[in-house]
Chain A
Amino acid sequence: MTPLTFRTALLAGLSFGIASAAAPDAQIRRGAYLTRIMGCADCHMPLKMGPKGPEPDLARGLSGHPEALVMPAAPEPKGPWLWSGAATNTAFAGPWGVSYAANLTPDDETGLGRWTEAQFLQIVHTGRHLGKGRTILPPMPIQNLQATREEDLKAIFAYLRSQPAVRNHVPTATEPAASH
């Protein structure tokens, strides 16, 4: 899908793009709607600087923090300015360390291409990385997804799976330097 198609879809209030559709169209449309109103793109689609300021980089879809953007060491989290974020709004530093928005496109190696619907539900229900590991980090509002009805979660997953795959290896989260 071209960036223009992404943009058209976004402006139409539908989604960021639909590439393939093993799931029913109605479920994917529902997922696209939910993904949009829940603000998933706020962090998972990088911002780029445009003529009027930061704007979503539609060509990247929901591919998360760009792997080419290697972040320097984060400012020390000291209150009252306790956390900070990258200009792309895809990397965040705070008392928890540094977290990066994940690649939510269905790329097999770097995204959720190999996830099953059950695994996606497990990630949401447990609030844990891959459904088993560390807790999902701020600022991901996992509690909002946990309050979402299961059929809506399935719709969101169906939509995410329907997007074009974007190969983008997001860095792993890092611990606060002071914790070692």
Chain B
Amino acid sequence: MRPLSLLLAAVLGSLPGVAGAPYGGVRAPRLLSQTGLYAAPGRLDPRNRAYSPQYPLWSDGAAKARWVRLPDGAAIEAGDEDAWTFPVGTKFWKEFQFHGRKVETRLLWHARPGVWIFASYAWNAAGTDATLVPEEGLPDAAEIAPGLRHTIPGVADCRTCHENGRTEVLGFTALQLSTDRDPGAIHGEPPRPGLLTLEDLVKEGRLRHARADLLARPPRIRAGDPETRALLGYFAANCGACHRMDHPLDGLDLDFRPTGRTPGEPGLASTVNRPSQYTLPGEAPGTTLRIRPGDPDHSAVYSRMASRRPLSQMPPLGSALADREALDRLRAWIARAPAR
């Protein structure tokens, strides 16, 4: 392309912008409208498919919309059900709204072999487009509650959760898209026409090497009762990216990955009546339990989920507001659990 053509193309917006540091030789486009999410201003590209994980991540109560774009004719390597491998060119977008206003949209883009681009875009006040935020993120992006502001996370924080396991993609998994959807999932969105499901992916030939009975025996968390299932799903989505035994934090044997295959999921085995490295106020070091059946106020998991103090809040990033509904349900579940 000749220099004049390059200039014209850039002015017309058909080339990515140059904001942001390159990663793996790739730069994220400067504007959301340049990422391929929209076919025209305000009109989604129909090749981008909406989906909704059955166990959503808590993000300060944001209303979210998500889309995926798989390259034409390409398939996901699905032989490892816990870690799908996505073809180069795959893009995911997630839009966040607070109080009915679009605040940010995040892009996760498999740009080159081994190179995933993480980019966040902040919407302008008119809601016409969104601009790539600095690599370190953007604090005070919107008010989420009186005195509390939403922070658009920096790239390092994105990578903290997304690059912790065997796949960079967290909310688009066999379990999250399962046709055996959990009706009790905390903040779960009921299935509706137009949302991409596991069945769609199978029927469209988008999953390679998936087990033959994936639809006959769709992934499901194995739990003894519906509320335990819902809470384990919540833990998986909100805690399992970091707390996982296939990639453990140093010295911490906490595991929130659901296996769907192991009776008594690791999320229970590694928490209930298990000692915590964290010491609750007023307790002697070494005596705090992660989950103390019958006693939520003396359960570190509950206490840290309720905290938004910097040293103790869990998750430690991505949220400034504790999840009241999840806390209420966890509290009731712990209170009902028989003490040993």
Contacts and interface: CB of A to CB of B under 8 A. Distances in A.
Contacts of A175: 309, 311-312
Contact of A131 (B160, B251, B309, B310): B160
A89 B250 CA distance: 25
B160 A135 contact: no
A128 B279 contact: no
Interface string A167-180: 00000111100011
Nearest to B279: A172
A33 interface: no
Interface string B231-252: 0000000000010000001110
A5 B251 CA distance: 31
B14 interface: no
A134 B277 contact: no
Nearest to B282: A180
Pick the most buried of B242, B310, B313: most chain A CB atoms within 10 A of its CB.
B310
A174 B242 contact: no
Contacts of A119: 250
Nearest to A133: B316
B313 to A, nearest CB: 8
A96 interface: yes
B164 A132 contact: yes
B311 A128 contact: no
B115 interface: no
B333 interface: no
Interface in B154-213: 156-157, 159-161, 164
B224 interface: no
B306 to A, nearest CB: 11
Contact of B311 (A114, A126, A134): A134
B168 to A, nearest CB: 14
B278 interface: yes
Nearest to A70: B285
B316 A134 contact: yes
Interface string B76-118: 0000000000000000000000000000000000000000000
Given A172-B277, A172-B279, A180-B281, A130 B311 contact: no
Name the prevailing secondary structure of the B interface residues. Answer: loop
Contacts of A173: 311
A125 interface: yes
Contacts of B313: 134
Pick the most buried of A119, A128, A132, A172: most chain B CB atoms within 10 A of its CB.
A132
B157 A179 contact: no
Given A125-B156, A126-B157, A132 B249 contact: yes
B156 A172 contact: no
Contacts of A128: 160, 316-317
Contacts of A134: 310-313, 316
A115 B311 contact: no
Interface in A90-144: 96-97, 109, 114-115, 119, 122, 125-128, 130-135, 137
A126 B160 contact: yes
Contacts of B249: 130, 132-133
Interface of A: 96-97, 109, 114-115, 119, 122, 125-128, 130-135, 137, 172-175, 179-180
10 contacts: A96-B311, A109-B251, A125-B156, A127-B156, A130-B250, A132-B164, A134-B316, A172-B278, A175-B311, A175-B312
**3 A-B pairs closest in CB distance:** A175-B311, A126-B156, A180-B281
Given A109-B251, A114-B251, A128-B317, 10 more contacts: A96-B310, A127-B156, A130-B249, A130-B250, A132-B242, A135-B310, A135-B316, A137-B311, A173-B311, A175-B311
